[in-house]
Structure 1
């Protein structure tokens, strides 16, 4: 599977050198990103009408990052060149038979004169060529103690803007009410910069590892396949300079990886976690999470040494897509599988179901299997909407036409195309998903602050504190109901009562913070004004 093998890969070296000079000229602040204002000034020299430039930007910035990197800039320039020669600009043109490699750069009126002036002025002002300052500021925001005020000028993308809003407005609320202990660890720089993730869940031998190998068209370090439970650990398959496996304890402490939050599950889990790195074009866009087979039958009596559902819930909050894999001979939803699916609560929009190895039954049996699967899922997925089920055989083996027949083969191919299309959309929707998760987190942090401050308010001033605390913990459902009514909050946004009670029992409620209206108002302002303004600032500069 390839994700948008765009025109940039077909550009000649000579043209790349030209575009490199143009890119550095257009990049007014030298941060390696061309934002909307830069683009408007530079693209105007093409003399193309505004509607065409709007389409050029929309295609080049397909991930909606709010800026163009060098690769995206090349795509934009090639689209401008096509528009100048009368071609209609659309996504399809990138994959057409146009000879991008030998395409001439576009005509940019007056660009040569402006570049010559800039070179002359830079030589006269700085004859020795002073070194360029490091422009990667966002990593410093999370480590610097004096990062309370971050200049808006240092924000050059939607993700940068979210980082700034988190540090200035949301993180103080999370710290004050210990959100990281109850709900989710504090976010780091790597959490914002991580590539989109896809998690695969299912019983053993439903083809999870084979599915990843099928997409990559090759094996990866640490991959094992067999009819018995072969994957006994969580394996993150991601891009890297060479092929290697990194142990979980090492992965969890690496600042450039978004897995530091997994340390809360302890050494027992980290010994069953590893990162498999390899250079691969697909992994430059998407990271895969392979998981141990969910236990069923007698195997459920075997206790795992770590909180399996807690780990799946943690990954679910980080992932962009969750694939539940079944095969025609393993349709039963075991007790552990039910707990796993329950742990995905709040992430229903990410779930897709894959009925794998569907060529192992004939067409009539497949209809019955599909009906049985939908019935089983209906009992555990608490949603009125019908979940999307992809049917196919996702492996490198040829489809068994002796059972499926030509109609079955055609169906599987169409289903596979639909699933691959869903996967291809992940990088394009990654920025939207990140905004969505950020807003969900902010709302959860607000509700958490209301709960904690309400518990604090219910504690007596002097006598009977221990008794009052135990009563509050025992009647936590009533506390949630009171907070919900008092602040008019949605019931579905409240945390799991049992988990909250378990964590709360280890704290002294009397030490909690009182309600801080100003802090909550700051988060409300962020949701109501700052985020919409950020999206407007880094949207398509042509409207």
Structure 2
């Protein structure tokens, strides 16, 4: 896990750091701390590299596909430019090499010193005359003006995520609010939902090693971690980056505007008392947030019922997470009824699920093969998907592998499997922006479908008499009403919401109070999906593509 969270500035001197800061401030044309594609085409031209080389520089530096470079990524780009100028081939492995080479000097940038001197002089001049004019550089030189004293407008879009925020507020949120999407499907989004780090959720029956797995990743304990053979984690614990080690109670976490957990207030105080946030400074947590969940009960313990909607909470986190790890113990392969319900609540997030067969060194080779087969057979019945789920086999703890039961071949297999899983986690931040776009588009389509359903039910209501009877008939025959909506609007049957859940929420509303279909709102979302999102992605693609 050394690659994750590594500071881009860890491999150069203070003098070089100042050079890069001066260059970054010069190149960042609007002073927002984001080096965009437009900035790059001007600034990188001074390197005299080919377009193909600069395309590779940008692709490697913007590994998260955000559409811009922050200062750490800018430094990485400068190191790559320097290596390219020295004749090195640029590949994904180059970044790892560059970050370890303390002798990677700043690249040669033609005319950079003259530009820095002119830019500094223009700032002095502006201070003298107390004005905001900018120095006009000669036409033969890339145009880098001094920083403007004007603030950027709040709706300025300088990244893909910023663009999604704007589209949500202007196009999607009005549709969601009008048809109560937040009550039926998912709470309204906030800025923190867009800005949150990628999340990884761990699920499993008790004593499958979830908490130990997290400790293994972090190489240390985290606040509030407890490990034992019986259920020890009886609460949801979000392990995330923070300035110091501390545990924050759930009620406090849910009301913090800079955390993406305000939607959890919907599950009430009973849940929030079983929810907490463990914060600590850690390079891995600078990149991802980890969600530890209570061990799912089985056998006699199945009778113990939570005082909150456990599967509802799991479903909420599943929609937010980028990766879901299902942990299994080779000695506890029976999937309890509750665990089946938990897995069923992951519906719609199948592409995020990975399976971890933990503690595999506790059984011999023959047993392991039988266990693997039994696990795949059990999961095939529960997941109801034709796709073969990726299963990682190993012993994910800090103890040495039990060589009495594991042969040399399997010791090598466990090591490779662990490396594969760690690389999956390393890649999460790189795919986070793509995941945000995917989830946003999926949400927009769900909101459209919800609007069709609600407006259809409204249309079926009488104008004056018999409203109560009609409402009850519609709720009782909701599946048939879904079928009518499907036929009318040519919607895929598999995308419709769960009928029973929809009925339960619908019982608390008067259908007559719902809004009729507003074609302009639907059209706005269609335009967003068909034109504006593709244009947004095009605006922030690799500037040399």
TM tier, smaller: over 0.9
SS of aligned partner of 1:401: coil
Q: Hey, what's the Cα distance between the residues in 1 that align with 2:75 and 2:352?
A: 32
**Change beyond 3 A, Cα 1:114–1:401:** same
Distance 1:3 1:462 in 2: 66
Partner of 2:41: 40
Aligned to 1:143: none
Q: Which residue of 1 aligns with 2:230?
A: 228
Q: Mean Cα displacement is larger for which, 257-266 or 487-496?
A: 487-496
| Aligned counterparts of 1:248 and 1:365: Cα–Cα separation in 2 | 42
Residues 236 and 291 in structure 2, CA contact (< 8 A), matched pair in contact too:
yes
Match of 1:523 in 2: 525
| Residues 465-517 of structure 1, C-alpha deviations (whole Å, 9 max, x = no match) | 01000100111001111001100001111111100100000001001000001
Once the 2 structures are TM-superposed, how far is the Cα of residue 7 of structure 1 from its aligned partner? Answer: 5.1
1:385: which partner in 2? 387
TM-score of the pair, normalised by structure 1: 0.95
Summarize deviations over 1:411-439 as a string: whole Å, max 9, x none.
Answer: 10011111111111100000000000000
User: Corresponding residue for 2:135?
Assistant: none
Query: Is 1:423 the counterpart of 2:425 in the alignment?
Result: yes
Task: Name the SS of the counterpart of 1:232 in structure 2.
Answer: coil
Choose which of 445, 451, 473 in structure 1 pairs with 2:475.
473
Match of 2:218 in 1: 216
What secondary structure does 1:275 align onto? Answer: strand
Equivalence map 1:77-226=2 (5 Å): 77-96=78-97, 100-127=101-128, 150=155, 154-226=156-228
Instruction: Find the residue that maps to 2:69 and give its secondary structure.
Output: coil
Q: What is the aligned-residue RMSD (CA, Å)?
A: 1.5
Equivalent residue, structure 1, for 2:136: none
Count of equivalent residues: 529
Check conservation: 2:30, 2:148, Cα contact below 8 A.
Answer: no
**Change over 3 Å in CA distance of 1:80–1:222 after alignment to 2:** same
Q: Which residue of 1 aligns with 2:405?
A: 403
Determine the structure 1 residue equivalent to 2:141.
Answer: none
* Residues 502-543 of structure 1: per-residue CA shift (max 9 Å, x gap): 000000100100000110000000000011111110010001
Q: Is the 8 A contact 1:6 1:75 kept in 2?
A: no
Task: Tell me the residue number matched to 1:144.
Answer: none
Q: Does 1:74 align with 2:75?
A: yes
SS, match of residue 295 in structure 1 = coil
Structure-1 residue corresponding to 2:369? 367
Distance 2:275 2:354 in 1: 24
Task: Name the SS of the counterpart of 1:283 in structure 2.
Answer: coil
Q: In the TM superposition, what whole-angstrom CA distance separates every residue of 1:68-113 from its partner, at most 9, and x where no partner exists? A: 0000000000100111111111111222388632322111101111
Q: Which runs of 5+ in 2 are unaligned?
A: 133-146
Partner residue, 2:30: 29
Change (3 A) 1:136 1:215: farther
Partners of 1:65 and 1:333 lie apart in 2 by 40
Seen in structure 2, the aligned counterparts of structure 1 residues 111 and 177 have a Cα distance that, compared at 3 Å, is same
Structure 1, unpaired ranges of 5+:
139-149
Structure 1 residue aligned with 2:144: none
Inter-CA distance 98–216: structure 2 relative to 1 (3 Å threshold): closer
Query: Which residue of 1 is the match for residue 416 of structure 2?
Result: 414
Distance in 1 (alpha carbons) for counterparts of 2:325 and 2:150 = 40
Structure 1 match to 2:19: 18
Distance of 2:97 and 2:243 partners within structure 1 = 31
Equivalent in the alignment of 1:145: none
Q: Residues 67, 333 of structure 1: CA spacing in aligned structure 2 closer, same or farther, 3 A cutoff?
A: same
Contact (CA 8 Å) 1:197, 1:286: kept in 2 or not? yes
CA displacement at 1:132 relative to structure 2: 8.3
For the residues of structure 2 that align with 1:441 and 1:137, how far apart are their CA atoms? 27
Distance 1:490 1:182 in 2: 19
For the structure 1 residues 351 and 228, does the alpha-carbon distance in structure 2 shift closer, same or farther, using more than 3 Å as the test?
A: same
Structure 1 segment 265-280 matched on structure 2, within 5 A:
265-280=267-282
Q: Decide whether aligned partners of structure 1 residues 79 and 97 sit closer, same or farther in structure 2, where only a CA change above 3 A counts.
A: closer
Q: Quick one: structure 1 residues 291 and 158, their matched pair in 2 at CA, closer, same or farther if it must change by over 3 Å?
A: same
Partner of 1:55: 56
Query: Which whole-Å CA distance do the structure 1 matches of 2:507 and 2:166 have between them?
Result: 34
Q: Is the 8 A contact 1:358 1:392 kept in 2?
A: yes
Q: Does structure 2 retain, via aligned residues, the 8 Å contact 1:447–1:494?
A: yes
Match of 1:142 in 2: none
Q: Deviations over 1:126-177 (max 9, x none)?
A: 3369998796876xxxxxxxxxxx3xxx100000000000000000000111
Distance 1:492 1:3, change over 3 A: farther
State the shift of 1:12 in Å: 1.7
For 1:7 and 1:258, locate their aligned partners in 2 and report how far apart those are by CA, in whole Å. Answer: 27
Separation (CA, whole Å) in 1 of partners of 2:455 and 2:227: 51
Tell whether the 8 Å contact from 1:239 to 1:287 is kept in structure 2 after alignment. yes
